[in-house]
Structure 1
Amino acid sequence: MADAGTRILVLGSLPGAQSLTRQQYYGNPRNGFWYLIGEVIGRPDLPAQCYAERLQLLTGAGIGLWDTIASAHRKGSLDTAIRDAEPAALAELAEGLPSLCAIAFNGAKSAAIGRKALGACPWHLIDLPSSSPAHAAMPLAEKREHWLALRDFLAAPLELPGQRP
């Protein structure tokens, strides 16, 4: 889910079992994603909205969602169980988003695969702590502080690295 108004593209690794069953990004109710991204866009009520409304609010705020992995084998939902991962065509996706200024990676696996797939690119790349409940070593409040850095990319026009006024 991304469109011409996407300023920030948030990349997960691969949907987990509950997300696949529900056909929803971050479908596990214990995943902190909707809380964290709601804080970023100033909508703390975002988790309480229906899924279609959440997506509409993200799109309206300039945030797109995608995955760094196009296909893989995995039992369960843990990133450590991912095998035979084929990266998504991220550079092509990003190049088709004219308003894009930042790409955020939701977790270490997403960052490792996404950074490699993107190579040298003109966008700001941001590694975020995983919103997954499996990443319990960091409390949600601490994750929130990292995620709030995305607000800077939703504000006034930004220059891409290497651009001149």
Structure 2
Amino acid sequence: MIVHSFPPLIDEASRVLVLGSMPGVASLNAHEYYGNPRNYLWRILYALYGAGRGVDDVYEDRLRFALDNGVALWDVIATCDRPGSLDSDIKEVVPNDVPGLLSEYPGIRAIVCNGTKSHAELMKHFGSDPSIASRRVVRMPSTSPIPTKDFRNLEDRLHAWRAILEL
């Protein structure tokens, strides 16, 4: 099944670009970045930047919160063939124009790859591009709720994601 990512969420004040691989089925169906309520991304961003504030219920308020804190969102992959939501099932990748976005928004100083697949695809398609090489690129554990050997839950991931506060 061919799936398509969303347009970037970014503005002139954005300093950190969080790149996913491709939205999962729940996000695609909701037409929302990280629209699966089990995904940890929004809880992580609010824990890092929200000073104890809970995650906004309204999607547009979550988008505004990200932008107000200098965080942009996009995906490395524009389209791919993927049945379901697993990154391991992704085939026939067509990348988004990440270098083009970075030239349009030169204030982005760091790229945070949300998971291994995002990082691998970014490096495969654009690793030698000067717009990528001139910025700090950090691979964070995926915010997917699927436990891994090193990251079992929200707290494990939040601990690792605290590093983006230094970017």
TM-score by structure 2 length? 0.86
Are 2:147 and 1:147 aligned?
no
Q: Which residue of 2 aligns with 1:128?
A: 140
- Judged with a 3 Å threshold, the aligned counterparts in structure 2 of structure 1 residues 53 and 135 are, in CA distance, closer, same or farther, namely same
Mapping of residues 61-76 of structure 1, within 5 Å: 61-76=69-84
* Structure 1 residue 48, shift from structure 2 partner: 3.7
Query: Do the aligned partners of 1:89 and 1:117 also contact (CA within 8 Å) in 2?
Result: no
The percent of aligned pairs where both chains have the same amino acid is: 35
Are 2:28 and 1:2 aligned?
no
* Structure 1 residue 82, shift from structure 2 partner: 0.8
- Judged with a 3 Å threshold, the aligned counterparts in structure 2 of structure 1 residues 5 and 117 are, in CA distance, closer, same or farther, namely farther
Q: How many residues align?
A: 153
Q: Which residue of 1 aligns with 2:47?
A: 39
Are 2:31 and 1:19 aligned?
no
Greater shift in the superposed pair: 31-40 or 18-27: 31-40
Match of 2:92 among 81, 84, 99: 84
Question: Equivalent residue of 2:124, what SS?
Answer: helix
1:65-101 CA distances to partner (integer Å, 9 max, x unpaired)? 0000010011111111111111111111112112111
Q: Which residue of 1 aligns with 2:6?
A: none
Match of 1:58 among 35, 52, 66: 66
CA RMSD of aligned residues (A): 1.4
* Structure 1 residue 116, shift from structure 2 partner: 2.5
Which sections of structure 1, spanning at least 5 residues, go unmatched? Answer: 154-165
Which sections of structure 2, spanning at least 5 residues, go unmatched? Answer: 1-8
* Structure 1 residue 122, shift from structure 2 partner: 0.6
1:137-160 CA distances to partner (integer Å, 9 max, x unpaired)? 41321211111111122xxxxxxx
* Structure 1 residue 46, shift from structure 2 partner: 4.6
1:91-138 CA distances to partner (integer Å, 9 max, x unpaired)? 111121121110000000000001233323211001000000124441
Alpha-carbon separation, structure 1, partners of 2:19 and 2:33: 11
Greater shift in the superposed pair: 138-147 or 121-130: 138-147
* Structure 1 residue 38, shift from structure 2 partner: 1.3
